[in-house]
Amino acid sequence: MRFSVRRLAPGELDYELIWLSASLVSLALAAAWLTIGLPWPRCAFHDLTRLPCVTCGMTRCGIQFFHGHFLAAFKWNPLVFTALCGVIAFDVYAVATLMARAPRLRIYFLNDHSKRFLRVSVVSALALNWIYLLLHWRSF
């Protein structure tokens, strides 16, 4: 894995602008959904098994997170809490980069070992999160 900081080449995709826009639009849609009182999403896995799925508690985690109740958000779903922290950090980076027209950080995966490590890390994080949720399933 290699990191580089460089200016955008002409015609290159502006990932900071794309992902910042996507996260802000998603936040606005979720806030509007909950504000106008539309029904909460249902989980077919939970309805069938009465056990939490990998993403159970995601909506409640997000609500607690954006109300500033970080410990409660972490308890609902640690993986989603971590992802929300990552999105906030990326959004701060993206706004600063776009406003300053600064060089962009890019990550390159040079070999299969780096790619395999990333895949194993993601699968491990999902598995550990699900184990946590299964141990606390009575909360759901």
Per-residue pLDDT at 114:
86
Does residue 48 form part of some domain? no
Domain that holds residue 15: 2-36+53-139
- Report the amino acid identity of residue 7: R
Q: Is residue 79 part of a domain?
A: yes
**Whole-structure pTM value:** 0.85
Amino acid at 8: L
Residue 99 is assigned to a structural domain of this protein:
yes
* 65 in any annotated domain: yes
126 lies in a domain?
A: yes
pLDDT tens per residue, range 97-132: 999 999 999 988 878 888 899 999 999 999 999 999
pLDDT for the residue numbered 2: 85
What is the CA 29 to chain-centroid distance, rounded? Answer: 16
Q: What total of structural domains would you count in the chain?
A: 1
